[in-house]
Structure formats: C-alpha cells, structure tokens
C-alpha cells in the first residue's frame, strides 16, 4: 500500500515528536522539569557564538522578541548569564552556565539512549539504513537554523 506525501510528513513528525517528547520527559526525571526543546536550541546557539538577542534570533530564525523571551527564561533558571563585554563595558554578552552545559550533556546522553531503544526495536542494520536514507533525503546536518555548523558544538570544551 502506498502512503501519501502527507502520511510521510506525519510519520517523520511523529518520529521527531517521539524522540523530543521522550527526551523532555527524561530530562524532567533527571531533575530538569523546566527544559524545553527551544531551550536546548538557544543554549547551543549561545555557546556557538550568538551572544546577544539579535544574533540568537538570527541563528534560530525567530523574532528578536522571541529570542529575548527565551533568554529571559534561561537566565531566570540559571542556564545562561549576561556578563559585561570586556571590550565594551556597555555591552552585555550571553554565556551558557555550567548548569546549562550540564543540561546539554544530559540531553545528548538521553538522545543516545533513545536511539539505542529504537535500535533494539527494529535492529541495528535497519536503524542504520533509516539514518542513511534520511541523511540522503534531508542532507547533513538535517537542520540548519540559518547558521551552518551550529550542531557541531563540542559540549566538552565549553563552559
């Protein structure tokens, strides 16, 4: 039986939601009940150099107001700070805190665990083939958020 294009889109979206919802739930169990996917994207962007609301909005392809709201939430929760720029005392630069980097590391670990779960369900060869096919269809990295290389952040070297 052939599926429609809409069916394919819904299957892909369902796979994404399954992974993201699973990661969000597991982060909550590990002590981070207030973290949402947008927080992860924002912290990665900040760690990769989007050190103010304007740059973060560009990196995430959202309005400056949306970026500012996300930054405010992340600051309130202790995941990012605003510090005075040593080269320009009038400018405040965003930085991910140690707590923020811990959340990012935990998220990476959880996604690895979720991938392992899928591998147990369908088998290693099938999952590898699925990943290869998706990479062929959508490219690598699959999502850019308007800035090449933002996914390449090495969480182990920044803090």
Determine the average pLDDT of the residues in 100-128: 96
What span, in angstroms and rounded, lies between the C-alpha atoms of 148 and 127?
Answer: 26
As given in the structure block, the two tokens for residue 124 are 């290693």
Task: Please count the other Cβ atoms lying within 10 Å of the Cβ belonging to residue 142.
Answer: 11
pLDDT tens for 63-100 read 999 999 999 999 999 999 998 878 888 888 999 999 99
The pLDDT, as a whole number, for residue 141 is: 65
The pLDDT, as a whole number, for residue 142 is: 53
Residue 35 φ/ψ, nearest 5 degrees: -90, 135
**CA distances, 41 to each of 66, 107, 117, 127 (Å):** 13, 11, 23, 25
Q: Does residue 70 have a cis peptide bond before it, meaning omega lies within 30 degrees of 0?
A: no
Higher pLDDT, 142 or 32: 32
As given in the structure block, the two tokens for residue 46 are 């900040």
């Amino acid at each position: 039986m052939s599926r429609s294009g809409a069916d394919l889109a819904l299957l892909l979206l369902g796979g994404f939601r399954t992974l993201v919802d699973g990661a969000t739930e597991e982060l909550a169990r590990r002590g981070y009940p207030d973290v949402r996917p947008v927080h992860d994207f924002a912290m990665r962007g900040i760690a990769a150099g989007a050190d103010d609301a304007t740059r973060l909005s560009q990196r995430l392809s959202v309005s400056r107001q949306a970026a500012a709201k996300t930054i405010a939430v992340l600051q309130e929760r202790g995941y990012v700070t605003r510090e005075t720029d040593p080269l320009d005392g009038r400018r405040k630069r965003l930085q991910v805190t140690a707590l923020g980097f811990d959340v990012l590391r935990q998220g990476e670990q959880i996604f690895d665990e979720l991938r392992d779960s899928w591998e147990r369900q369908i088998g290693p060869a099938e999952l590898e083939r699925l990943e290869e096919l998706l990479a062929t269809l959508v490219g690598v990295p699959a999502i850019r958020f308007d800035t090449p290389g933002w996914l390449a952040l090495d969480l182990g070297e920044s803090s």
